[in-house]
Structure 1
Amino acid sequence: MDALRNPSHPRPEGEWVGGEVARQFWARVIGISTATFQRRFLETWEEYLQGTAQQAEDRCRSHIRDIASYMEVRRQTIGARPSFNILEMDMDLPDEVIEHPIIRELELLAIDLTIIANDVLSYNKEQASGDDGHNLITIAMAEQNTNAQGAMDWAAELHAEMVEEFNKLYIEIPRWRGPLDFDVQSYMNGMAQWVGANVQWSYKSERYFGKRGLEVKQTRTLYLLPKKINGHGEIGPLVVDDTLM
């Protein structure tokens, strides 16, 4: 955050290279973006960093949250808000627009939809490595006393309900008239596209499914990988609901 707030200042000698990367990144962004975007991005990026610090603390303590408190932290660690801010890099959207109740609710739904999809799709890899404490499926399994399939079914139903609510609210986005309406339309369309694009990226990037991403997308089933921490064999198959495709 210091590098972002002071991009004209050289970084301390011997500092981790990430500080200089952040400084150079922000020095370039300032030259091609609006002051409104810059203010909002710094705010949401700091929220993201605070969330990741909390996640690290939870991991060190082996602390598993309940669904409600998990979602509060996950809305920060998913990094959706600063990502959405990128959409307005060349815009000057007033606070009254961004803070409008309908815009805020759509933003929250888009964040939660991204969380649910990401946690479903990343669960296999994370449970295998023993790093699934910060995952909605693990938390739902514990809170609802169910297995992985039961938690995925619950997550898929919740996801479908949120998609329906998002679509209903989307047609209620207010009008402010003039060029501002075009910017709002572009911003909200980008937010909606982000949700679906993140899912497609998860199948194609090889981060979660290796070379089998498109196969999982087509068959909607997978076997859980053996846990590296205790040598358990495969478990499954599990159905990946088609509402997440």
Structure 2
Amino acid sequence: MTASESWLLGLKTAESSDVLTETERKNLRPMKAGLLAAVCVPGCGQPQLRFFADFLSLSIITNGRIRGARDMSENGWTGEGVGGGVDALGRHTLFQHLLPELQRLVSKATSTWKTRFESSVRSYHSAQLQVITDRVNNVIPDLETYLPLRRELSGLYMLLDLIELCENLTLPPMDDETFSKFNALKQLAADIIGCSLDVVAFNDDQVQGNRHNLITVIMTHKRLSLQGALNLAGVLIKRMFDSFVETEKSLISAPTAPQTNYLGNGSLSSYWNWVSLSRLATPPASPPRSTPDPSNGANGGDLAHLGDLPSYVHTFRDCVVGTINWAYETELYFGKKGEEIRTFGWVFLNPQNDGDGEERS
């Protein structure tokens, strides 16, 4: 048992009851949040890795609670008019347990960072409330409404803010065009992660009656069959990934180091194939971060003016590729068959919504 798991199991309410439900406690180890932290923030030290394991564990559990919330009383936030930032997280039934560490981290943050983090938390909170409101009112949002909602539900913006703070990253001065590309890349990372996890979570979501899922949204509003919705989801995710690659190239035009695959096989350029709709292919691992050699022309001196921008871009990529690899390793989506599915691509969909019960390749 990891230190993070032990800490989570020991969390108590003010009434000395366990903070986590029995199911949540049982799922801690199979969840493998520590692995998710390691692949999303591969360069951090042990104390930071522990913090991100705690944060991601609480994020995953919170997501599960929102997916199953029956009314607004189960939204997890306390107090009137929850704002943003660390103070807001301190009024969340789960994140409040990270408050001391969050306060320590934020004590060294700039006012610009604090403002951005407040916005990230506020958007995350609003998205969660919207999901519950839709469920209470029996609303399935259309695709144009759902995509930005799913982006905020991912919690990626909060995670990226915290990675920036822990790794002491600072954005260099950027013109309007470069800044717009930077924000677009961050948005694409959140879109790819959210939509990809919707695909792997669809089987469980349909069983639980959670209709805030990309596949359900497409089936409902595009009037497509399950296979048709999967096909369209694959097209959308491929477009997102293609846009991510092109935007990344336009931000950092110099070549990057060859990839080293930590968890699977494949190249970054073919990453999108993992969700090729009837078959799940193996996604790649993120390439190792390298320090440019200042004497090496475009690989070095030409990148010097970019400051920490390449590190931000690598972080976005680490989170995208790391999350998809983690989806096979965690038992939340495929149970103990993740490696089998990674290798052979066979998936069984629940017969409730797929009555033929056939194996899909």
TM category (shorter chain) comes to 0.7 to 0.9
Please give the alpha-carbon distance, in whole angstroms, between the structure 1 residues aligned to 2:110 and 2:170: 6
Q: Indicate if the aligned counterparts of 1:137 and 1:152 stay in contact, CA closer than 8 A.
A: yes
- Residue equivalent to 1:113: 192
Task: With the length of structure 2 as denominator, give the TM-score of the two structures.
Answer: 0.56
Amino acid at match of 1:21: H
Is 1:26 equivalent to 2:102 in the alignment? Answer: yes
CA-based RMSD of the aligned residues comes to 3.0
Alpha carbons of structure 1 residues 29 and 101: separation in structure 2 relative to 1, 3 Å: same
Alignment of 1:78-227 (within 5 A): 78-89=154-165, 90-93=168-171, 96=174, 100-131=179-210, 133-173=211-251, 181-227=306-352
Alpha carbons of structure 1 residues 180 and 206: separation in structure 2 relative to 1, 3 Å: farther
- Residue equivalent to 2:131: 55
Residues 181-235 of structure 1, C-alpha deviation per residue, up to 9 Å, x if partnerless?
23110011110121111111111111111111111222222111244xx9x8673
Task: Note the C-alpha offset of 1:59.
Answer: 1.5
SS, match of residue 331 in structure 2: coil
Task: Note the C-alpha offset of 1:157.
Answer: 1.8
Is 1:4 equivalent to 2:91 in the alignment? Answer: no
Is 1:237 equivalent to 2:315 in the alignment? Answer: no
Alpha carbons of structure 1 residues 234 and 223: separation in structure 2 relative to 1, 3 Å: farther
Q: Indicate if the aligned counterparts of 1:36 and 1:92 stay in contact, CA closer than 8 A.
A: no
Alpha carbons of structure 1 residues 238 and 130: separation in structure 2 relative to 1, 3 Å: farther
Please give the alpha-carbon distance, in whole angstroms, between the structure 1 residues aligned to 2:105 and 2:313: 22
Amino acid at match of 1:5: D
Alpha carbons of structure 1 residues 183 and 149: separation in structure 2 relative to 1, 3 Å: same
Between 1:24-33 and 1:112-121, the stretch displaced more is 24-33
Q: Indicate if the aligned counterparts of 1:37 and 1:92 stay in contact, CA closer than 8 A.
A: no
Alpha carbons of structure 1 residues 32 and 26: separation in structure 2 relative to 1, 3 Å: same
List alignment gaps of at least 5 residues for structure 2.
1-81, 254-301
SS, match of residue 29 in structure 1: helix
Please give the alpha-carbon distance, in whole angstroms, between the structure 2 residues aligned to 1:152 and 1:16: 35
Amino acid at match of 1:235: G
- Residue equivalent to 1:242: none
Alpha carbons of structure 1 residues 158 and 41: separation in structure 2 relative to 1, 3 Å: same
Amino acid at match of 1:161: R
Q: Indicate if the aligned counterparts of 1:75 and 1:112 stay in contact, CA closer than 8 A.
A: yes
Residues 77-135 of structure 1, C-alpha deviation per residue, up to 9 Å, x if partnerless?
1112222222311223268579711112212222221122111111111112222x100
Residues 153-191 of structure 1, C-alpha deviation per residue, up to 9 Å, x if partnerless?
11112222222222122111169x886623110011110
SS, match of residue 195 in structure 1: helix
Please give the alpha-carbon distance, in whole angstroms, between the structure 1 residues aligned to 2:108 and 2:332: 31
Alpha carbons of structure 1 residues 219 and 63: separation in structure 2 relative to 1, 3 Å: same
Alignment of 1:41-52 (within 5 A): 41-52=117-128
Instruction: Identify which of structures 1 and 2 has the higher relative contact order when contacts are C-alpha pairs closer than 8 Å and 6+ apart.
Output: 1
Please give the alpha-carbon distance, in whole angstroms, between the structure 2 residues aligned to 1:196 and 1:84: 14
Q: Indicate if the aligned counterparts of 1:4 and 1:22 stay in contact, CA closer than 8 A.
A: no
Number of equivalences: 228
Amino acid at match of 1:108: Q
Between 1:84-93 and 1:15-24, the stretch displaced more is 15-24
SS, match of residue 235 in structure 1: coil
Please give the alpha-carbon distance, in whole angstroms, between the structure 2 residues aligned to 1:181 and 1:219: 42
- Residue equivalent to 1:243: none
